[in-house]
Chains A and B, each alone.
Chain A
Amino acid sequence: NAGVTQTPKFQVLKTGQSMTLQCAQDMNHEYMSWYRQDPGMGLRLIHYSVGAGITDQGEVPNGYNVSRSTTEDFPLRLLSAAPSQTSVYFCASSLTSGVDTQYFGPGTRLTVL
Chain B
Amino acid sequence: AQTVTQSQPEMSVQEAETVTLSCTYDTSENNYYLFWYKQPPSRQMILVIRQEAYKQQNATENRFSVNFQKAAKSFSLKISDSQLGDTAMYFCAFTSADSNYQLIWGAGTKLIIKP
Per-residue A-contact encoding for B89-115, CB less than 8 Å = 1, 0 else: 001010100010111011110000000
Q: When the two chains form their complex, are residues A106 and B101 in contact, meaning their CB atoms are under 8 A apart?
A: no
Contact B106 A42 (CB under 8 A): yes
Please tell me if the beta carbons of B50 and A101 are within 8 angstroms of each other in the complex: yes
A19 at the binding interface (Cβ < 8 Å): no
Contact partner of B95 (CB less than 8 A), chosen from A41, A88, A99, is A99
A44-B4 Cα distance, complex, nearest whole Å: 12
Please state if A99 and B91 are interface contacts (CB–CB under 8 Å).
Answer: no
> Which label, helix, strand, loop or mixed, suits the secondary structure of the A interface?
loop
| Contact across chains for A102 and B101 when beta carbons are under 8 A apart | no
Closest to B46 in A: A104
Contact check, B43 vs A88: say whether CB atoms are below 8 A apart. Answer: yes
Q: Cβ of B9: which chain A residues have Cβ within 8 Å of it?
A: 40
| Contact count A vs B, C-beta below 8 Å | 48
- Knowing A42-B108, A97-B101, A98-B103, say if A107 contacts B95 (CB, 8 Å): no
Bound together, the chains give a CA A42 to CA B35 distance in angstroms of 14
Choose among B43, B47, B95, B103 the residue that contacts A106 (Cβ–Cβ < 8 A).
B43
Say yes or no: A98-B45 contact (C-beta < 8 A), given A40-B107, A42-B107, A43-B105: no
Chain A residue with Cβ nearest B50: A101
A33 to B103, CA, bound (A): 10
B37 touches A102 (CB 8 A): yes
Complex alpha-carbon distance, A101 and B99, angstroms: 17
Please report B residues at the A interface, Cβ cutoff 8 Å. 4, 9, 33, 37, 42-47, 50, 91, 93, 95, 99, 101-103, 105-108
Chain A positions near chain B (C-beta within 8 angstroms) = 33, 40-45, 48, 58, 88, 90, 92, 97-99, 101-102, 104, 106-107
| 18 A-B pairs with C-beta separation under 8 A | A33-B102, A40-B9, A42-B91, A42-B106, A43-B91, A43-B105, A44-B105, A48-B102, A90-B45, A92-B45, A98-B93, A99-B33, A99-B95, A104-B44, A104-B45, A104-B46, A106-B42, A107-B44
